[in-house]
Amino acid sequence: MLLNERYQVIRTLGSGGFGETFLAEDTQMPSHRRCVIKQLKPIQNNPQIYQLVQERFGREAAILEDLGGSTDQIPTLYAYFQSNSQFYLVQEWIEGDTLTEKVRQQGLFSESAVRELLANLLPVLEYVHSKRIIHRDIKPDNIILRHRDGKPVLIDFGAVRESMGTVLNSQGNPTSSIVIGTPGYMPSEQAAGRPVYSSDLYSLGMTAIYLLTGQPPQALETDSRTGDILWHRYGMNVSPTLLGIIDKAIQYHPRDRFASAREMLESLQGVVSPIPPTQPVLTQPPTLPNHTPQTVNLNTPSPTQDNNHNNILIASAIAGSLIGGSVIIGFALTKSSQPVTQQTISPSPNLPTTTPQVTETPNLKSTPQIIETPNIKPTSISQPIFTPTPSVATTSQPPEITTTINDYSWLSQRLVTNADLDNKDGVELDIMRNSIFARHGRRFDTPGLQEYFDRQPWYRPIYLPKNFPTNLLSKIERQNVDYISKYQDRNNRRHFKK
């Protein structure tokens, strides 16, 4: 089928009440580039309505052109035309997989992957809302992870489809007779035909729940008194901080949600933004051999507080009481066959900065951590870290490590540097690098590595090495694996075989 004497249809991508969507080739371009063509049909067929639909369609197409030309996370509009009382949009073809397809192929998303997704999509929504546009149909099927760079791309805006529902009301004025959105993913005000900007945040929150739990909205119960969606029992491994962010996004009433995409992003950045290496953590992560003493400083990450002096006094008092508690927690959790003779205060660069609370590290079963209070002025804490006698390893046998490894989940949040690697031997570097894979459920052919990770309480092996989908790794994780591997080769610091 040739549309508009130019676009050769390859196959049908989908169909619905408004028309069909095709994958096509542009025969008038030298590259014969592929494109997506949306065929839209008005729900009423009379000359007066057709004229109104035509006007609205032109306006909405101009908006899509503006949006797609300003960000690469919205498809570019190539053209639009009309033929046989039907309307057509010609848009960029995004090669990738929808979030629905990703879950079907690979299972649930990790918390770090969901955080990265939200951090990439919220700036797009902020821009869309700044143009006074509401997407109105955010859901897993309308977010594509692009193959070439892994970026999420937002597709299928609802405004053009709404224009197809134009009718005349009893007073003879044009109005829309349809509600755009998907049941379960759209909030109550949108279902009533009155969407607001936070309606998109609600839909994004419901999408995050699906990625984390695999539960579609229809499978979740609702509190009949408050309207709250009861999903926490399906997200037992989600940190309380992310639980709170999603819960606020999906509140029943718009006034209780984030006021804007920017506000939600700022709240999320308290979780995903890398904390400087000088930030102390009041906890006791165990260490590997040859780990040298460190001196760490308190920092002030929040730019929005006004009463710094009062916050310093309060936070300092709280921090003092937490140090003792963190030592007790560390003792209880250290899996060691030898007694630990000194306590540890060590930095962990991936923790959020919120009010003090005991929370769980993402994807760990039961490893509580103490989270820092913001706005504490720089101060210095320095204690030596327990250093057992290092073993000289020249074979692929499991290392004689009597404590659990440092928490390297921060490798999913910031890029590694030489300063992170210089004081580590081949054993720790191997485990550090492979912990990135282990956190995504990879098994290992190397017995020593497998036995080591089997001893870690957070480790949940899922994939055989040959079946491990490397695209589970984020861009930062892939860069860190490569960086550590090259560092090891350059400095001849490997213990296990590759």
Binding-site entries: 38
Gap between the Cα atoms of 44 and 47, Å rounded: 9
Gap between the Cα atoms of 20 and 16, Å rounded: 6
Residue type, 240: P
Q: CA of 178: how far to CAs of 16, 42, 149, in Å?
A: 14, 11, 36
| 137 a catalytic residue | yes
Which tokens belong to 93? 């073809």
Catalytic residue, chosen from 137, 156, 200, 425, is 137
The angle at the Cα of 399, spanning 431 to 429, to the nearest 5 degrees, equals 25
Gap between the Cα atoms of 371 and 405, Å rounded: 19
376 near 297, Cβ under 8 Å? no
Binding-site entries for ATP: 38
200 near 208, Cβ under 8 Å? no
Gap between the Cα atoms of 236 and 256, Å rounded: 24
Q: Which long-range contacts (CB under 8 A, 24 or more apart) does 190-199 make?
A: 190/136, 195/134, 195/136, 196/134, 196/254, 197/129, 197/134, 197/260, 197/261, 198/249, 198/254, 198/257, 198/258, 198/259, 198/260, 199/134, 199/136, 199/254
* DSSP letter (8 states) at residue 259: S
Q: Mind telling me the catalytic residues?
A: 137
